[in-house]
Amino acid sequence: MKTKKFMLSEQQMPTKWYNIVADMPNKPLPALDPATKQPVTFESLSRVFGEELVKQELSEERFIEIPDEVQDLYKIWRPTPLVRAYGLERMLDTPAKIYFKNESTSPAGSHKPNTAIPQAYYNAKQGIKYLATETGGGQWGSAMALACQYFNIDLRVYMVKVSCEQKPYRKLLMNAWGANVIPSPSTTTRFGRDVLAKDPDCAGNLGIAISEAVEVALEHGEHTRYCLGSVMNHVLLHQTIIGEEALLQMEMAGDEPDVVIGCFGGGSNFAGIGFPFLRRNLTEGKQTRIVAVEPTSCPKLTRGEFQYDFGDTAGMTPMMPMYTLGHSFQPSNIHAGGLRYHGAGSIVSQLYKDRLIEAQSVPQLETFAAGMMFANSEGIIPAPESCHAIAVAIREAKRAKEEGCPRTILFNLSGNGMIDLYAFEQYFANKLTDYDLPESEIRRSIDELEQII
Ligand SMILES: *Cc1c(COP(=O)(O)O)cnc(C)c1O
């Protein structure tokens, strides 16, 4: 009998996260304080984020020990399975071998609890009682709600108002895990009140929600902090548990991936699966291809520019060196909400600039077709974001068939789509379209940027 799932025991779960900064030939440029244009300091960042997280943000240490309490909670669903997708291979009639790492098995249904749990843990250890964050589609908010209840932290989630109305189940999930969900813009912050004074019917966006959450963290006293679900170095670090497990599991399978694929929003699940494999390229001379996949409607890596830019739409965060479409770029309303972000994290951006990783973009209809093929062959309904990784895995498998040369493909299934079935309903009803993004639209938002490099 063939082995389908490669499982690690709890005892075999890796106990360290991998910090790729240690092995990068060119280190990422520092984040800058927008007022002074000087590198941000430990002190300024610690007013917003938990101290241990800021230390990790600035660290160049190669491996960082995962605290026992975090390991213990990871074990609720980790180690996650590595699965050989025999069904998908058969459907594609390809000589390629396809493996996927199943991060959809967490209680929140995505990879996000891998960082939500350590973020809640370090804040609680520092005596933080309240956390504020924002959520667009609701995946990050629900992961953080799950994590905060383990550590008795009160969580306030600013959820983009229009998503709150469109995705009532995400909000209920957060409520079930004890979080206070506030539709943004709201009257609970100065920033929100200003927005509402100008436009009482404002539907909200991620930039406004970030600004509200940061304001709460800065102004609600010393026991309150802010937290973020992607982009930042410490978030990418926590996600490397995915790839550290996958390295061991590929070994169990007796295989080597030729290509490792992850969908790309701010870069956290891509870094999670990719960086441990990239370490072997950087330190052992291996040549595994590591591929990030973004929507053609939000193509920061494939069509953006490397510039200093803000992390949010409102321009409140430090400026980071990133491949960006400009913080005022408004991505079209595709269903992969987690990928509708204008920029890429600074580590991933530097690696891409140095051509150590690759990027591809995929149009929306191809991603849904790929997702359906996966659902029909492997049985799991993938998240719309994850469908992007599946689409490129399928492209690679088809190429293997055309070229008549086998290859081994590994992709990360970042989440399941059980709460996003609305998107599939629209797909079945032929209501989804592809969107050709004109160059002028990209130029408009990039040209607004202040040139620092
Ligand atoms: C949030 C999310 C993403 C995108 O975020 P990254 O930080 O780029 O990983 C991808 N897939 C799922 C399921 C998500 O919830």
Q: What is the CATH number of the domain that holds 379?
A: 3.40.50.1100
Query: What is the torsional sign of CA 389, 392, 394, 397?
Result: negative
In this structure, the answer to whether residues 258 and 377 fall within a common structural domain is: yes
315 CA → ligand 1 middle, Å: 22
141 CA → ligand 1 middle, Å: 12
CA angle 440, 444, 446 (to 5 degrees): 115
The predicted structure's pLDDT at residue 314: 75
Residue 157 sits in which domain range?
47-66+112-233
- Closest ligand 1 atom to residue 110 Cα is 13
| Residue at a domain's end among 233, 265, 292 | 233
178 CA → ligand 1 middle, Å: 22
Among protein residues, the one whose CA lies closest to atom 8 of ligand 1? 265
Q: In this structure, is residue 30 part of a structural domain?
A: no
For residue 17, the cross-strand partners are 64
| Residue to substitute in 385, 386, 412 for testing ligand 1 pocket (most ligand atoms within 8 angstroms of CB) | 385
Three-state SS at 53 = helix
229 CA → ligand 1 middle, Å: 9
- Closest ligand 1 atom to residue 109 Cα is 13
The CA distance from 41 to 23, in Å, is 23
Among protein residues, the one whose CA lies closest to atom 13 of ligand 1? 415
Contact between residue 81 and residue 104 where contact means Cβ atoms under 8 Å apart: no
The predicted structure's pLDDT at residue 23: 98
Nearest to 410 by CA among 251, 282, 301, 296: 251
The CA distance from 365 to 432, in Å, is 7
In this structure, the answer to whether residues 246 and 345 fall within a common structural domain is: yes
In this structure, the answer to whether residues 183 and 330 fall within a common structural domain is: no
Structure tokens at 122: 């370090």
| Phi and psi angles of residue 260, each rounded to the nearest 5 degrees, phi first | -120, 130
In this structure, the answer to whether residues 186 and 251 fall within a common structural domain is: no
Among protein residues, the one whose CA lies closest to atom 1 of ligand 1? 338
Contact between residue 272 and residue 239 where contact means Cβ atoms under 8 Å apart: yes
In this structure, the answer to whether residues 368 and 264 fall within a common structural domain is: yes
Q: In this structure, is residue 23 part of a structural domain?
A: no
Nearest to 160 by CA among 148, 173, 144, 171: 171
Q: What is the pLDDT of residues 51-108, one digit of tens each?
A: 999 999 999 999 999 999 999 999 999 999 999 999 999 999 999 999 999 999 999 9
In this structure, the answer to whether residues 337 and 228 fall within a common structural domain is: no
In this structure, the answer to whether residues 281 and 430 fall within a common structural domain is: yes
Query: What is the torsional sign of CA 227, 270, 2, 383?
Result: positive
Residues 6+ apart with CB under 8 A from 395: 360
| Residue at a domain's end among 198, 233, 268 | 233
Exposed e or buried b for every residue in 53-78, given b needs 16+ CB within 10 A?
bbbbbbeeeeebebbeebbebbeebb
Residues 6+ apart with CB under 8 A from 292: 262, 263, 264, 267, 270, 274, 301, 348, 352, 357, 358, 359, 360
| Residue to substitute in 100, 174, 268 for testing ligand 1 pocket (most ligand atoms within 8 angstroms of CB) | 268
185 CA → ligand 1 middle, Å: 23
Q: In this structure, is residue 151 part of a structural domain?
A: yes
Q: Which residues of the chain have pLDDT under 50?
A: none
Q: In this structure, is residue 451 part of a structural domain?
A: no
267 CA → ligand 1 middle, Å: 8
In this structure, the answer to whether residues 420 and 435 fall within a common structural domain is: yes
* Summary count for the chain: helices (H), strands (E): 19, 15
Q: Cβ < 6 Å from ligand 1: which residues?
A: 110, 112, 139, 230, 263-270, 338-339, 383, 385-386, 414-415
For residue 83, the cross-strand partners are 5, 100
* C-alpha distances out from residue 292 to 249, 365, 393, Å: 21, 18, 11
Number of domains in the chain: 2
Among protein residues, the one whose CA lies closest to atom 7 of ligand 1? 268
Tell me the angle at which helices 139-150 and 113-125 cross, rounded to the nearest 10 degrees: 40
In this structure, the answer to whether residues 146 and 246 fall within a common structural domain is: no
In this structure, the answer to whether residues 223 and 148 fall within a common structural domain is: yes
Exposed e or buried b for every residue in 175-205, given b needs 16+ CB within 10 A?
eebebebbbbbbebbebbeebeeeeeeeebb
264 CA → ligand 1 middle, Å: 7
265 CA → ligand 1 middle, Å: 6
- Closest ligand 1 atom to residue 415 Cα is 13
In this structure, the answer to whether residues 312 and 355 fall within a common structural domain is: yes
| Phi and psi angles of residue 225, each rounded to the nearest 5 degrees, phi first | -135, 175
Q: In this structure, is residue 17 part of a structural domain?
A: no
The CA distance from 412 to 272, in Å, is 9
| Residue to substitute in 111, 231, 233 for testing ligand 1 pocket (most ligand atoms within 8 angstroms of CB) | 111
Q: In this structure, is residue 28 part of a structural domain?
A: no
Q: In this structure, is residue 411 part of a structural domain?
A: yes
Contact between residue 258 and residue 288 where contact means Cβ atoms under 8 Å apart: yes
| Residue at a domain's end among 233, 261, 276 | 233
Q: In this structure, is residue 266 part of a structural domain?
A: yes
For residue 132, the cross-strand partners are 156, 226
Q: What is the pLDDT of residues 198-209, one digit of tens each?
A: 999 998 888 789
The predicted structure's pLDDT at residue 167: 85
The CA distance from 325 to 343, in Å, is 6
In this structure, the answer to whether residues 200 and 263 fall within a common structural domain is: no
The predicted structure's pLDDT at residue 381: 97
